[in-house]
Amino acid sequence: MKVLLIHDIGTATGGAELQMLSLRQGLRDLGHDVRLFSSQATPVRNSELLADYSCFGTNSLLQVCSQTINPSAYWRLKAVLKKFQPDVVHVRMFMWQLSPLILPLLKDIPCIYQTAVYKAICPIGTKVLPDGSECQYNPGKACLSNGCLTPQTWAVLMVQQKLWEYWRDAFDVVVALSKGMKSKLKEAGIKPVEVVYNGVPVRKQNSPLKETPTVVYAGRLVPEKGVDVLLQAFAKARATIAESRLLIAGDGVEKANLQTLSHDLGIADAVTWLGYLPQEAMEQHFEGSWVQVVPSQWAEPFGNVTTEAMMRGTAVIASAVGAQPEIVANGKTGFLVNPEDVSALASNLTSLLSNRQLATTMGQKGRDRALNKFSEDKRNQKFLRIYKQLQAKYQPSNSLIQKLKMEA
State the CATH number of the domain containing residue 299. 3.40.50.2000
Residues 186 and 271 in one domain: no
Judged against a pLDDT cut of 70, whether residue 398 lies above it is answered with: no
For residues 154 and 232, state if they share a domain: no
Phi, psi of 307 (to 5 degrees): -70, -30
Average pLDDT, the chain: 93
Please give the C-alpha separations between residue 132 and each of 42, 175, 261, in angstroms, as whole numbers: 29, 26, 20
Confidence class for position 131, pLDDT limits 50, 70, 90: confident
Q: How many residues does the chain have?
A: 408
In a domain, 206, yes or no: no
Model pLDDT, residue 374? 96
Asked if residue 107 and residue 44 are part of one domain, the reply reads yes
Q: Which residue has the higher pLDDT, 241 or 400?
A: 241
Same domain, 133 and 269: no
How high is the pLDDT of residue 4? Answer: 98
Q: Identify whether residues 110 and 175 lie together within a single domain.
A: yes
Domain assignment of residue 208, yes or no? no
Whether residues 130 and 232 share a domain: the answer is no
Q: Is 62 part of any domain? A: yes
Question: Using one digit for the tens of pLDDT, what is the confidence trace for 80-121?
Answer: 999 999 999 999 999 999 999 999 999 999 999 999 899 999
Determine the pLDDT at residue 401: 52
> Are 240 and 114 within one domain?
no
Q: Domain span at residue 127?
A: 2-199+376-407
Note whether residue 84 is domain-resident. yes
Quick check: bond before 151 cis, omega within 30? Answer: no
| Residues 22 and 151 reside in one and the same domain | yes
| pLDDT for 147 beyond 90 | yes
Q: Is residue 17 part of a domain?
A: yes
- Mean pLDDT of all residues in 124-148: 91
Looking at the structure, do residues 223 and 358 belong to the same domain, yes or no?
yes
User: Are 319 and 389 members of one domain?
Assistant: no
Task: Note the pLDDT of residue 346.
Answer: 98
Domain membership of residue 204 (yes or no) is no
Half-sphere exposure of 123 (CA within 13 A, CB side): 28
pLDDT digits (tens, 9 = 90+) for 23-51: 999 999 999 999 999 999 998 778 899 99
Give this prediction's pTM: 0.88
Count the domains in the chain.
Answer: 2
pLDDT at residue 397 greater than cutoff 50: no
Say if residue 100 is in the same domain as residue 149.
yes
* 144, part of any domain: yes
121-135, 159-173, 261-275, 360-374: lowest mean pLDDT where?
121-135
Say what the pLDDT of residue 406 is: 45
Q: Is 205 part of any domain?
A: no
CA 109, 114, 120, 125 torsion: positive or negative? negative
Q: Are residues 164 and 39 in the same domain?
A: yes
